Structure 1
Amino acid sequence: MTKSQAIQHFGSVSALAKALGLTYEAVRQWSVVPELRQYQIEKITKGALRVEQPQVA
């Protein structure tokens, strides 16, 4: 999932941060959603947002 997909799903950076128990600033600093946070978001959203699987060459 992308950062923008997660923000869009929750409605705002603040709402995403609150759902994850993080500060607004912590989420704002992400260039991409950290892998472990992706798993947390997948669980919270009951699979509406899915973890991006790494590309294997």
Structure 2
Amino acid sequence: MKTKDAISYFGNKCSLARALKLSKSAISQWPENVPELRAYQIERLTNGLLTAVPQLTHSDNTA
């Protein structure tokens, strides 16, 4: 899950931080991808609209 997608879903960093009971600065320190355990937490909060493990597409499964 991309950090920008999680922020976009919740509207802004403050709202995402509030939903996860974190500080806004904690969210600001995340790299491009949401840390794994937080991604699963976000997946639960969004009822699966954002997924921790993206679905593989045919092009992702090529050698």
Task: Note the 1:5-44 alignment, pairs <5 A.
Answer: 5-31=5-31, 32-44=33-45
Q: Which amino acid aligns with 2:37?
A: L
Find the aligned partners of 1:18 and 1:43 in 2 and give their Cα distance: 15
Aligned length in residues? 54
**SS state of the match for residue 33, structure 1?**
coil
Highest Rg: 1 or 2? 2
Q: CA RMSD in A?
A: 1.3
Unaligned runs of 5+ in 2: 55-62
Find the aligned partners of 2:13 and 2:53 in 1 and give their Cα distance: 20
**SS state of the match for residue 48, structure 1?**
coil
Find the aligned partners of 1:26 and 1:52 in 2 and give their Cα distance: 22
Unaligned runs of 5+ in 1: none
Q: TM-score, normalised by structure 1?
A: 0.88
Find the aligned partners of 2:18 and 2:25 in 1 and give their Cα distance: 11
